[in-house]
Amino acid sequence: MHSTRTTSGLTMTVATHCPYCALQCGMTLTADERSSVGIEGREFPTNRGSLCQKGWTAAELLDNPERITVPLVRERQGDRSSALVPTSWDAALDAVAARLRETRQAHGPDAVAVFGGGGLTNEKAYALGKFARVALRTSQIDYNGRFCMSSAAAAGNAALGIDRGLPFPLTDLRETGAVLLVGSNLAETMPPAVQHLVAMRERGGLLIVIDPRQTRTAQLADLHLQPVPGTDLALALGLLHILCAGAHLDVDYIEARTTGFAEVRATVQSYWPERVERITGVPSAQLRRAAAWLAAESPVRGGRGVFVLSGRGGEQHASGTDTVHGFINLALALGLPGRPASGFGTLTGQGNGQGGREHGQKADQLPGYRSINDPRAREHVAGVWGVPVDSIPGPGRSAFELLDALGTPAGPRALLLMGSNPVVSAPDANRVTKRLHALDLLVVSDFVLSETAALADVVLPSTQWAEEDGTMTNLEGRVIRRRAVRTPAGAARSDLAILNGLAARLGSGVDFPADAFPTDAETVFAELGRASAGGRADYSRITYGRLDAEDGVFWGDERMFTERFPTPDGRARFHRVEQAATAEDVDDEYPLILTTGRLLAQYQSGAQTRRVAALVEAAASPFVEMHPSIAEACGLLENSTVRVSTRRGSADAVARLTATMRVDTIFMPFHWAGAGRANSLTIAALDPTSRMPEFKACAARIDAVEVAA
């Protein structure tokens, strides 16, 4: 048995995983008699013993002075200007349940909304989705993964028949001949993953990176294509144009295993390299070189294999789903998916970004990646839940649309939020913050007073990763165990216990079974397995016993698509797509393209990492990266304070002059709140299929606030 919990005297040691990103690095936690927790990296396929700075320092949050350890309510109910004051669990849960019941009675079930997160364990995500549909009977549930993985998911489902980020183990990258990495800065977002790219290059493999910035990952590349933000799809179409013209396609694979290529071939004819250069700014010679490398390493030419990997850079656009289709088309035309050391994958970001999108916290989804509109899926899940099938609501609003409807006459008036901080992480955050203020009731479960929790009427203190059991599903689709090493701080409770407590107070006892919301994670996981049985993401054969014995278990095949695709006819589908303009073009007033992203030492909205001293020291405050010629035109120097403005708001940050930046593009990390909040600037233009907002491109200008001496 690989992964166990051991005790020695008063010391306990557990094998678990990092609380942050989807790499889910293996780590060993040791808690001494004072519950002080030490961390060591441990051997696990994705990290092979390495951790990044976030992982090493994760235990600092457990006893952080800003940790919330008792429930908080407003001193004067309904007055958010009054202080948040401690109360008992019974008082807090009674108050929340009473107000949710009142809201439901007065305005109907959809007046209560639920918002989840891609960092919640599988058990919590499942229980939250069930809680919304069974205990609240609301259709109004979505989660922050909509802002992260939805375009990749939509394209994967449509083209390949399934959405598993990497349908192969990450370590397969070590064996391949070339990796085309689209819009992912692995070297900062999940540094231990870089060792697999380095191993690939040491064996003679080639790394091609597409990114508007020369990131740390791009600096490792053999070839860096640096397009205008939002033009990645034109690059995919241009690459396929060159491969078609050069007869480098895997014709037998296309014939035997796919449909729809003829329309795609016709479309890419008009994306000749010089035209693509005009659209993207990427020199045609670079595009030709990239195509030649991909062709040479493709299986049909006897190469060692090619992986095409997509990240948020290409996906977080109003046309993100089409962009992912463009790169899947490229992979299919080269015959990659299902071949050794080859394939197409997307790099999931949040800790449980994969499992979090499989078990029912999405507006249109039931557990097991089932559609909430599918009568057979509804029947199956209703049977597991012990409720009438007609009592399960239909689909609700997507994440931004849900947030944007809060407190409006037709929208929800109460919101229960777990594992998310939309005041910082949602697009057009000024607008979202106004909507949160308009609610009659905001209830937030968190372990620190995030910017969103600070607006709440009731704050419920939740456990952290080292205090709870559960499962996560990493970026490869490998289900893994999270294990508690110490008891919760203060009166903090698991979200499972919070949902249990609320359900007991909300329900009449007739509408759903009395034991519908267990607090034990293993019991919830067993039910999740039954609910997911037969679905696209089927966990029914995974048990805690297997997870302990095997140190993680893939749902579905470890390597997918080797024989067929999980589509009705077993074939993958090409999709005809065209490059589209971004939602907002630059003009005289807003002449620059703003793009946003992440840094190594901070994580997502920063609610956790901005409270860890070593991470604050490494990345203390917001900045805006720009080419020196932009700075010169604006009379700025390195470290000048600038105001970045868009049509939605402004944010102040320190100027960083970077000669490798494009002259038309500026970059801001999105981890900070307040005056430096990058999402005050971003645009909520949504992808028509995935409802993904366009975080990666909008029109901006910069003005000097204080020029550095």
Binding region for ligand SF4 (CB under 6 A): 18, 20-21, 23-25, 47, 51-52, 54-55, 190-192
Q: Closest separation between CB of residue 480 and ligand SF4, Å?
A: 11
- Asked if residue 25 lies in contact with residue 56, where contact means CB atoms within 8 angstroms, the answer is no
Q: Closest separation between CB of residue 50 and ligand SF4, Å?
A: 8
Measured from the CB atom, the residue of 23 and 84 that comes closer to ligand SF4 is 23
Measured from the CB atom, the residue of 41 and 676 that comes closer to ligand SF4 is 41
Q: Closest separation between CB of residue 26 and ligand SF4, Å?
A: 9
- How do strand 72-74 and strand 84-86 relate by DSSP bridges? antiparallel
Q: Which of 492, 588, 482, 472 is nearest to 539 (CA)?
A: 472
615 vs 30, 51, 296, 304, 703, CA distance in Å? Answer: 22, 14, 42, 40, 29
Structure tokens at 680: 């005050």
Q: Closest separation between CB of residue 22 and ligand SF4, Å?
A: 7
Handedness of CA 258, 262, 267, 272 (dihedral sign): positive
Q: How many whole angstroms separate alpha carbon 207 and alpha carbon 211?
A: 13
Q: Closest separation between CB of residue 149 and ligand SF4, Å?
A: 16
Measured from the CB atom, the residue of 62 and 235 that comes closer to ligand SF4 is 62
Give the residue closest to ligand SF4 by C-beta: 55
Q: Closest separation between CB of residue 353 and ligand SF4, Å?
A: 11
Measured from the CB atom, the residue of 54 and 248 that comes closer to ligand SF4 is 54
Q: Closest separation between CB of residue 450 and ligand SF4, Å?
A: 18
Measured from the CB atom, the residue of 25 and 128 that comes closer to ligand SF4 is 25
- Asked if residue 115 lies in contact with residue 396, where contact means CB atoms within 8 angstroms, the answer is no
Q: Which of 479, 475, 625, 601 is nearest to 539 (CA)?
A: 479
Strand partners, 343: 307
| Helix, coil or strand: residue 378 | helix
Q: Closest separation between CB of residue 192 and ligand SF4, Å?
A: 5
Distance of CA 518 to the CA centre of its chain: 27
Question: Based on C-alpha coordinates, what's the Rg of the chain?
Answer: 25
Measured from the CB atom, the residue of 98 and 198 that comes closer to ligand SF4 is 198
Q: Closest separation between CB of residue 591 and ligand SF4, Å?
A: 36
Q: What is the DSSP letter of 27?
A: E
Measured from the CB atom, the residue of 25 and 702 that comes closer to ligand SF4 is 25
Residues contacting 270, CB < 8 A, separation 6+: none
Q: How many whole angstroms separate alpha carbon 44 and alpha carbon 192?
A: 11
Q: Which residue has the tokens 């891609």?
A: 118
- Determine how many CB atoms are found less than 10 A away from the CB of residue 220: 17
Q: Which of 453, 427, 469, 504 is nearest to 89 (CA)?
A: 504
- Determine how many CB atoms are found less than 10 A away from the CB of residue 98: 12
Measured from the CB atom, the residue of 23 and 436 that comes closer to ligand SF4 is 23
Measured from the CB atom, the residue of 190 and 279 that comes closer to ligand SF4 is 190
Measured from the CB atom, the residue of 190 and 654 that comes closer to ligand SF4 is 190
Q: Is 494 exposed, middle or buried (0-12, 13-18, 19+ CB in 10 A)?
A: buried
- Asked if residue 124 lies in contact with residue 111, where contact means CB atoms within 8 angstroms, the answer is no
Q: Closest separation between CB of residue 23 and ligand SF4, Å?
A: 4
